[in-house]
Amino acid sequence: MSLNLNDKKAVVAEVSAKVATAQTIVVAEYRGIQVGHLTKLRAAARAEGVYLRVLKNTLARRAVEGTVFASLGSEMTGPLIYAISVDAVAAAKVIQDFAKSNDKLVVKAGNYAGKSLDKAGVIALASIPSREVLLAQVLGMMQAPVSGFARALAALSAKKESENPSAPVAVAEAVEAVAAEVTEAAAE
């Protein structure tokens, strides 16, 4: 279905607004994919906050013109689907995950914060864990020394208690309380 001039301007404006806030754009060829599979891809993209759209390449070129994604214009040939995301890895991850189960979706190129990516670059970007996973890993690394210290204090308390059974239980409770406070402070 052909678009009139006003419709084309509206599409370019909509895509330009998404591109203005984006960190990543991934372009993939979708030739031969059934509608049902594209619907699943769109649902997965929506769940991850990825703007996914099939566009005319000339309209997509106009939308990225004058942005850090302008270098992607040379890759815009053939039937393409565009994945645009604010999250640095979400677009690449959605497209790559779907491409693993459907060989008709072929990753063509991408662009992350102005840096052009080939197919291997997009796959490498998709392999990076999400922001939440990275934050959890950092928190785990920060808590490891503190929790180790707490376990060492508890073990020392248990050793002292076994050496001198008449020692007050209050010492062990105090050590456990301090360990709990240190662990709680590290979690914040």
DSSP string, 77-114: -SSEEEEEESSTTHHHHHHHHHHHH-TT-EEEEEEETT
Task: Assess whether pLDDT exceeds 60 at residue 66.
Answer: yes
Share of the chain above pLDDT 70, in %: 88
Contact 85, 49 (CB under 8 A): yes
How long a stretch of residues is the chain? 188
Domain check: are 79 and 97 in the same one? yes
| Side-chain half-sphere exposure of 108, counting CA atoms within 13 A | 20
Is the pTM higher than 0.75? no
Domain edge (last residue) among 128, 145, 172: 128
The C-alpha atoms of residue 169 and residue 167 are separated, in whole angstroms, by: 6
Question: What is the average pLDDT score of the chain?
Answer: 82
Residue 167 has pLDDT above 80, yes or no: no
Name 50's Cβ contacts closer than 8 Å, sequence gap at least 6. 83, 84, 85, 87, 90, 91, 94
Nearest-CA neighbor of 56 among 32, 17, 82?
82
Determine the pLDDT at residue 101.
87
Q: What would the mean pLDDT of 133-153 be, rounded to a whole number?
A: 79
d(CA 163, CA 107): 66
Q: Are residues 143 and 119 in the same domain?
A: no
Of 89, 106, 128, the domain-final residue? 128
- Structural domain boundaries, residue 66: 5-128
pLDDT tens digits for 112-137? 888 888 888 888 888 887 777 778 88
In a shared domain, residues 35 and 93: yes
* CA distances, 161 to each of 44, 74, 110, 171 (Å): 56, 73, 62, 9
Give yes or no for residue 47 having a pLDDT over 60: yes
| Residue where the block lists tokens 């994604």 | 69
Give the Cα separation of 58 and 9 in Å (integer): 12
The more confident residue out of 152 and 90 is 90
Looking at the structure, do residues 57 and 102 belong to the same domain, yes or no? Answer: yes
Query: Are residues 164 and 120 part of one domain?
Result: no
